[in-house]
Amino acid sequence: MKKSLILGAVLLSAIAAGAQKYNMVVETTDGQKTVIPVDDIDNMSMTPQPDYIESDHLVYALYTTQLSNPGRATYRIDFANAPADQNGLPVSKGDMVVSMEFTAPASAENSPAILPAGNYSAGNNTANFTFNCAASDVAIRVADGNDQDAISYEVIIGGYVDVNLVDGEYDIRAELTTISGLSLNASYCGPIRFVNNPANSGTFADDFDVTFENAQGRFYGNWYYPFSDDMMLQLYTGTIENGKQTEGYWLELETNLPKAADPTALTSPRVADGVYTVDTREDPGNFYYCYQPFTFVSGKVIDFFGQPTNIGSTITHIDKDGTLRLAHISGGTVTVSGNGTRFDFDLTTSAGVKVTGSYSGTPNIHNLCDNFDSQPARPFSTLEDDYSMNFADNAIALAYDEGNNFLIQGKKSIYLMVSDPQRVKGDYIAFDLISDENGLVDGTYTVNDTFEPFGVLKGRANYSGSPIFSWFGNLEDIDPDGYNNIMAPVNGGTFTVATDAQGVSTITFNLTDDNGHAITGSWSGTITRVSDEDLAAPARKALRMR
């Protein structure tokens, strides 16, 4: 390793005479001192520096302050021995891209951020003057083409990196060891302008208006979103260089569209006309992705393994000097008209700043839906004929008031279950339904996926294949692995609740599964009614995880 050494307090003649005990003090240029008693030195030699692979092509540099330790930051640097492609990967056989994440004291200024000079050793992102092995690797192109094996990734597990900075020019010398035992010596010489992580940015103080010049989007249409198709809509102004914005506004809206019958058939997806409002819920429907059409997701910052990360809908502005401002969108509307060619914005940030603006044109939206064909195949029902339910003698009806906004934004939902309390005898049935402020009341409830009182959500499977919303099953007929042999999603029909003067309710079921079979039966008794206020947190979780 190339180092500049300052040797002091070494008087060889005095040592030879034995007149006094001396130490050798080694001070490197980063100010670190090592003291070694002379009596402990058997031999001293200077090893020449290795031959470094000159890698003076800067691919990417990102500066991020650590959310858990504001005085500390990470500095991500990708450098290469030859120009990389648009994805930051090596182009020609034998080329490499070294990606390293350094941990050091936070820069005095976010823009431009400056990586402190010093000697960096292998670490795990928790100490200054280390590089994070979990986020550092070398990408080496070993073959031509786009095969996944064309690029070999070597995780860096050890070594040292010297960083020097003179007159705005970095001199970085890295002597590294990878997980396969490869020794790699690489250098970078040149300027580094770090991109400031949006989570470090300043904020907007005043209301502003933007006429956006361009728009694009990524349509995902994930099948496990039960009521909407998800996409990311991006609108921007200013300058784009090498795929990165260097000046202007950037509005990013995590948007939910009406559900398409076959999202893969949308060769040129469009944003449906309508008024889109913000969904501010933390985990819609217990992670069932219960977003409604014509909504967009509010923005916020989360702690992702110690790194501040923005999610949801945001707006940023970057100046020519790299100064970045960011705000999370927490309210307002987006009005879309003209078959997805006119957008009018009336938004509010989490700090209360008003953001207005417009865009005219057709966004360039790419269809990235790649999981539609992987969803569980219907019918889910295992019934081979119509079924008459037979509940256990001790079966109860439980109506759990989930409150407003749990399943559907702005709506109260009720989880209604009829079952043996221990869930081991007879049949069971469960529904997710929408109610008004009075909760479960007498009347006829229809399985139709409407988000209005007396509407019931159809049975579905979530992304892991587990049943969600309204399902029927038999608790006694199970296979050796504990799975129900008789079960079906409730896909249509009605049930009626009627209560007599003594408070005894009768629930009458006239339902259908997703294969055309009738599911009928009735239950009578006193309905047990509970809400979040009645249950401790573990009990609430047990009900909701069901």
Cβ burial, residue 352 (10 Å; 0-12/13-18/19+): exposed
Band of pLDDT at residue 519, cut at 50, 70 and 90: very high
- Residue 316 lies inside a defined structural domain of this protein: yes
179 and 216 share one domain: no
Dihedral sign from CA coordinates of 48, 53, 57, 62: negative
285 and 358 share one domain: yes
In sequence order, the 6+-apart residues with CB closer than 8 A to the CB of 535 are: 543
- Residue 420 lies inside a defined structural domain of this protein: yes
* pLDDT digit string, tens, across residues 308-364: 788 999 999 988 777 788 999 999 999 999 999 999 999 999 999 999 999 999 999
Band of pLDDT at residue 287, cut at 50, 70 and 90: low
345 and 410 share one domain: no
443 and 400 share one domain: yes
- Residue 172 lies inside a defined structural domain of this protein: yes
Q: Are 198 and 223 in contact (CB under 8 A)?
A: no
266 and 326 share one domain: yes
Q: Where is the domain boundary, 198, 228, 245?
A: 198
Q: Are 510 and 492 in contact (CB under 8 A)?
A: no
Q: What's the number of domains the chain is made of?
A: 3
End-to-end CA distance of the chain: 59
Q: Which residues pair with 207 in a beta bridge?
A: none
Q: Where is the domain boundary, 345, 374, 403?
A: 374
pLDDT at 1: 45
368 and 237 share one domain: yes
Q: Which residues pair with 103 in a beta bridge?
A: 74, 130
What would the mean pLDDT of 174-199 be, rounded to a whole number? Answer: 90
Q: Are 226 and 290 in contact (CB under 8 A)?
A: yes
Dihedral sign from CA coordinates of 391, 397, 402, 408: positive
Band of pLDDT at residue 46, cut at 50, 70 and 90: low
263 and 148 share one domain: no
248 and 337 share one domain: yes
pLDDT at 161: 96
Bigger pLDDT: 448 vs 26:
448
SS3 436: coil
Q: Are 496 and 443 in contact (CB under 8 A)?
A: yes
292 and 219 share one domain: yes
In sequence order, the 6+-apart residues with CB closer than 8 A to the CB of 64 are: 73, 74, 76, 197, 199, 200, 307, 308
pLDDT at 8: 36
* pLDDT digit string, tens, across residues 484-508: 999 999 999 999 999 999 999 999 9
Q: Are 159 and 178 in contact (CB under 8 A)?
A: no
474 and 344 share one domain: no
Q: Which residues pair with 387 in a beta bridge?
A: 519
pLDDT at 3: 39
Compute CA distances 199 → 224, 326, 353, whole Å: 29, 8, 18
Model confidence at 32: pLDDT above 70: no
Which pair of tokens denotes residue 209?
Answer: 């208006």
447 and 487 share one domain: yes
pTM: 0.71
* Calpha distance 217→235 (Å, rounded): 8
- Residue 382 lies inside a defined structural domain of this protein: no
* Calpha distance 438→264 (Å, rounded): 41
Domain that holds residue 69: 53-198
In sequence order, the 6+-apart residues with CB closer than 8 A to the CB of 345 are: 210, 251, 332, 333, 334, 355, 356, 357, 358
- Residue 34 lies inside a defined structural domain of this protein: no
What would the mean pLDDT of 111-118 be, rounded to a whole number? Answer: 89
- Residue 39 lies inside a defined structural domain of this protein: no
Model confidence at 180: pLDDT above 80: yes
Strands 130-132 and 118-123: parallel
* Calpha distance 9→41 (Å, rounded): 14
- Residue 11 lies inside a defined structural domain of this protein: no
* Calpha distance 274→279 (Å, rounded): 15
What would the mean pLDDT of 541-545 be, rounded to a whole number? Answer: 47
pLDDT at 202: 75
420 and 463 share one domain: yes
Q: Are 291 and 284 in contact (CB under 8 A)?
A: yes
Q: Where is the domain boundary, 198, 225, 245?
A: 198
- Residue 41 lies inside a defined structural domain of this protein: no
